[in-house]
Structure 1
Amino acid sequence: MYKLTTPQGSHSVSAILFDKDGTLLQFVSLWGSWGDCLLNQFTENLEQRGITIPVEHFPTWLGTVHNRQGNITDYDRNGPLAMGTMEDLYAILSWQSYRLGLSWAESMELVHRCRQNAEAMMEERQPVLPLPGLLSFLDECKSHGVPLAVVTADETGAAEKHLGWLGIRQYFSEVIGTDQVTQGKPFPDMVKLACQRLAVDPSTVAVIGDTNGDMRMAKMAHATVAIGISATSDVNTALNILPDADFIIHSFVELGIEGIHQ
């Protein structure tokens, strides 16, 4: 067992499970770039068909916040972009183009082309940045031999790639994407699968994430502690976003880990 120290006290844990987007890597650095490309491709293709979409409609589709230029600057931590699967997001856009007059087949073909362009952009730019204090905390965990895993709403292959871009894949014994389970977040399936592969009991692990779906997943799996991570310094805002967190941190600098000698 290991002692995970936090500003609110310490917890005995056998492993730590991390969400990926918004927890290990800065969400907007990756998915803001992807979303901007996807939405731009989507609207350009529709405009070629004589269909114009007001920019103010974008936030309601994927749960995003845009600046005056229409670029993504933030996101709803409990919205589709943060919590949905890739197939959820593509289905949302397909539905929107269907509502605007395209056939369902045309809608799916359009979104597929936009998806390919967005993925090509991501491969070229690899727009990922770690959260503050993450690398030092992962090094600390590694030095003590703490089993670590990733449990993400993303697909496993994409998650492996993003962790590789960030240079941190080697820290994690397991990477569990939503494609490996029957039910994704907020259901406990990913936590249970990760714990099974790590040979630990779910009741002895810590789960760290940036959405309440992560917190609900931890609670449903009976994890020993659900730690929310929030960039906002406003306590009430953080609590509104993460009401089911056992406590909230703002940086990995606030966490420490050490072995328990028995």
Structure 2
Amino acid sequence: MVSTAVDEVSVTDLPVRRLGPGDLRACLMLAIDRRWLPEEAKWRLLFDVGEVYGVDDPAGGLAGTVVLTRYGPDLAAVSMVLVATRHGRRGLGRRLMLHVIDRAAGATLFLTATPYGRPVYERVGFTTVGEVVSYTGHLTAAPADGVLEGLRPARAADLPGVVRLDTRTSGAPRERLMERLPRFASRTRVVERGGQVTGFGAVWRNVENHVLGPILADGTPAAIALIAELSRGLHGPVRLDLDSRHTDLAAWASRRGLSPAFSTALMVHGGALPGDRHHLFAPVMVALG
């Protein structure tokens, strides 16, 4: 009993520090401890575009992590809130959340929460504003699904147009993320009309599946065409994280072989989400929006 009390005090009192790529293995081991997938590529991207924070475990490794990804001064995503099993229910998750709230300096924050984590976020001031449903399975798009005028592979010259589209959709500057995506994704596609990029999509490989995201489009038909074209010829299951408001796209995905696997709550802190978000059909990933 004495050693447990000492351990509790030492962990909760230890400083939160900024982590670096050298801590990647410890992050992966912490994810495995919490029965999350060891998503190395995803963590590398988060280290590249975000700020990864953690608390060291006196016994070795990490006791907890959290990631803050800033999109300009007024918006930021929070993700990868992980606390080691042996340190659970001691307030470490709340402490990590308060740390990033303080670091955000008044910016609106958003995250997606599982039922397990949602009460922690509510206690530090987050409120639920929506739902994201994750669909998985083998997508069997019909040939006509991917036919759309102006749909083609993305080129380096498209980047400024993609950035403008994403900024308009997300309501915040995300140039660093958009610039990094072509190297992170296995495929990228754009829809070009009248010399303007009106749609953009990417697919990237995760541990268990191909993740379709982001999907930015001016309507459901364009979103379907992007998804169908991106997924064509892929081997293995895909994952598509859909805002629950996009019921027509969800119905199409269900007809094409995907099934809802789980849902998460979209939560915000400090203000409403900006941007033309009805054009955001799927995020890059739930960790980044």
Q: Does the pair score TM above 0.5?
A: no
More helix by share: 1
More strand by share: 2
The structure, 1 or 2, with the larger RCO (C-alpha pairs under 8 Å, 6+ apart) is: 1
TM-score normalized by the length of structure 2: 0.25
TM-score normalized by the length of structure 1: 0.27
